[in-house]
């Protein structure tokens, strides 16, 4: 679609939409978080020792990473939903969560003896992680794709993949409250693999449902 056609389409569509772009994404974020919380409580719920776990740095650090990922992905997704918006800043912020996790992995290498590295990497719940992060994130992903349909992404596949990344950040935040594998080794391996499933699904959904 040419630029002048896109502008005319946006102007015509503006009369039909009842929500502003900010209201659309605020509503989507709140709805997706509520749905993720509901699915999490129905399927899993928090770990039994969460009060004791909350006193440890490794447990709390998981939320620092997942919240940073979700927040930066939301910022980027909102930018992607607007034609011509600058992406350099949001893309830079997207590096924050991997940088934090990479630093924690480095510290883990220094803090733990080599003979326990493998056990911390494999953990106890890799299959559970790969199953429930995508399950918890599925409804949020659909909400974000619906929000893209009410926006104007010029790269629907990329926007859909970022929607999957955002859904993964939201679902991983809830899943972290149940997961008893707190090692950065585990988080850096299995959480990204689970989130990548949502990104792949988001890419496909974006290509189909968020196209202009």
CA distance 21 to 148: 10
Tokens of 120: 């911390």
Q: Taking 50 as the threshold, does the pLDDT of residue 15 lie above it? A: no
List, for residues 22-58, the tens digit of each pLDDT value. Answer: 889 999 999 999 999 999 999 999 999 999 999 999 9
Determine, yes or no, domain membership for 8: no
Determine, yes or no, domain membership for 13: no
Q: Taking 80 as the threshold, does the pLDDT of residue 2 lie above it? A: no
Instruction: For residue 108, give Cα distances in angstroms to 64, 182, 193.
Output: 16, 11, 20
CA distance 80 to 95: 17
Determine, yes or no, domain membership for 16: no
List, for residues 162-212, the tens digit of each pLDDT value. Answer: 999 999 999 999 999 999 999 999 999 999 999 999 999 999 999 998 876
Q: What average pLDDT does range 86-115 have in this prediction?
A: 94
Which of 14-23, 154-163, 183-192 is least confident? 14-23
- Show the DSSP H helices in 94-155 as ranges: 96-111, 117-122, 126-149
Determine, yes or no, domain membership for 110: yes
Average pLDDT, the chain: 91
Q: What average pLDDT does range 126-155 have in this prediction?
A: 94
Give the pLDDT score at 98: 97
- How many domains does the chain divide into? 1
33: containing domain: 28-209
Determine, yes or no, domain membership for 187: yes
> What are the φ/ψ torsions at residue 29 (nearest 5 degrees)?
-65, -45
């Amino acid at each position: 679609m040419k630029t002048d056609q896109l502008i005319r389409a946006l102007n015509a569509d503006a009369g039909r939409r009842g929500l502003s772009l900010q209201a659309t994404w605020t509503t989507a974020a709140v709805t997706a978080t509520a749905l993720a919380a509901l699915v999490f409580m129905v399927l899993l719920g928090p770990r039994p020792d969460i009060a004791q776990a909350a006193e440890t740095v490794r447990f709390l650090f998981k939320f620092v990473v997942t919240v940073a990922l979700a927040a930066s992905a939301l910022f980027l997704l909102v930018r992607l939903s607007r034609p011509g918006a600058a992406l350099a800043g949001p893309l830079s912020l997207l590096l924050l969560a991997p940088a934090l996790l990479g630093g924690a992995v480095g510290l883990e290498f220094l803090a733990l003896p080599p003979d326990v590295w493998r056990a911390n990497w494999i953990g106890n719940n890799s299959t559970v992680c790969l199953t429930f992060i995508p399950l918890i994130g599925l409804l949020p992903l659909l909400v974000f794709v619906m929000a893209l349909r009410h926006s104007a992404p010029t790269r629907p596949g990329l926007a859909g993949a970022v929607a999957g990344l955002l859904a993964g950040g939201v679902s991983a935040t809830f899943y972290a409250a149940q997961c008893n594998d707190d090692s950065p080794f585990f988080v850096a391996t299995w959480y990204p693999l689970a989130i990548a499933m949502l990104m792949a699904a988001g890419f496909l959904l974006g290509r189909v449902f968020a196209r202009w």
